[in-house]
Amino acid sequence: MRIDVVSIFPSYFDGLTLSLLGKARDSGILDLNVHDLRDWTHDRHRTVDDTPYGGGAGMVMKPEPWGEALDALTSPPVVERAQRDETQATPTIIFPSPAGEVFTQATARDLAAREHLIFGCGRYEGIDERVFEYAADRGEVRLISLGDYVLNGGEVAVMAMVEAIGRLIPGVVGNPESLVEESHEDGLLEYPSYTKPALWRDREVPPILLSGNHGAIAAWRRDQQLERTRDRRPDLLGG
Ligand code: JEH
């Protein structure tokens, strides 16, 4: 999979690229590249923002650097490509946005199956709306929100999304042995985990886990999952 991230704060992603690319880097499973939006400006101040038409507080990201970034990372446009070249996958272009659909494990699974993801990180009050229209001619555009709270830009949201997507790709660091056993894959919260010592600061591990009775352990864990889900996330059980 190829992932391109465009941001005015590319160094935000240093930790992510290090942690995610361990064994994936050499094997070519994941080709992750982070780009500085200001590399697609031409003025001496490398300007990426301007005042909003119609008035209002704050600044809006100018369309021109975004247009150049999209040209560089997606070429040629999908309409022309469809006529002559079936080999190049249509990129999925994701703009994190407080006004987008909410990112879930299902979104991560959907995006993990794609060949080329481009993440455009906005800042300030967001990006000139025409950029989304232009991007729609060059890929499948998705506006996605990390959740119902307000961030200062798309970077933190993209880090979370790329980590959630990356761990679903076989061979990427963090990819677990069993993805099906995970929380949210079966719609329930996870059961509690314990390790040695069996007694720690007067607290014991639930004796059932030391019983060797694997049927009873599985039933207990299921019960814990249901109880926790009922207490903490009743919405997952359908209200
Ligand atoms: C934030 C991209 C680019 C902040 C506020 C407003 C909310 C009401 N889950 C997420 N929260 N925020 C972002 C996100 C994701 N993914 C996010 C971004 C950008 C993503 C710039 N910003 C900063 C920003 C406007 N307010 C939105 N409204 C309903 C509380 C009030 C207006 C725009 C941009």
Q: Where are the beta strands (DSSP E) in 87-225?
A: 92-102, 116-120, 140-145, 199-200, 203-204
As a whole number of angstroms, the distance between CA 129 and CA 218 comes to: 51
As a whole number of angstroms, the distance between CA 209 and CA 193 comes to: 10
Q: Is the CB of 96 under 6 A from ligand 1?
A: yes
As a whole number of angstroms, the distance between CA 56 and CA 22 comes to: 45
Residue-level pLDDT, tens digit, the chain, 239 residues: 999 999 999 999 999 998 887 667 667 899 999 999 999 999 999 999 999 999 999 999 999 999 999 999 998 777 877 777 777 889 999 999 999 999 999 999 999 999 999 999 999 999 999 999 999 999 999 999 999 999 999 999 999 999 999 999 988 877 776 666 564 567 999 999 999 999 999 999 999 999 999 999 999 999 999 999 999 999 999 96
Residue pair 28/3 in contact by the 8 Å Cβ criterion: no
Query: Half-sphere exposure of 30 toward its Cβ, with a 13 Å CA cutoff?
Result: 30
Atom of ligand 1 nearest to the CA of 157: 16
Q: Is the CB of 97 under 6 A from ligand 1?
A: yes
Which DSSP letter does residue 213 get?
Answer: -
Atom of ligand 1 nearest to the CA of 148: 9
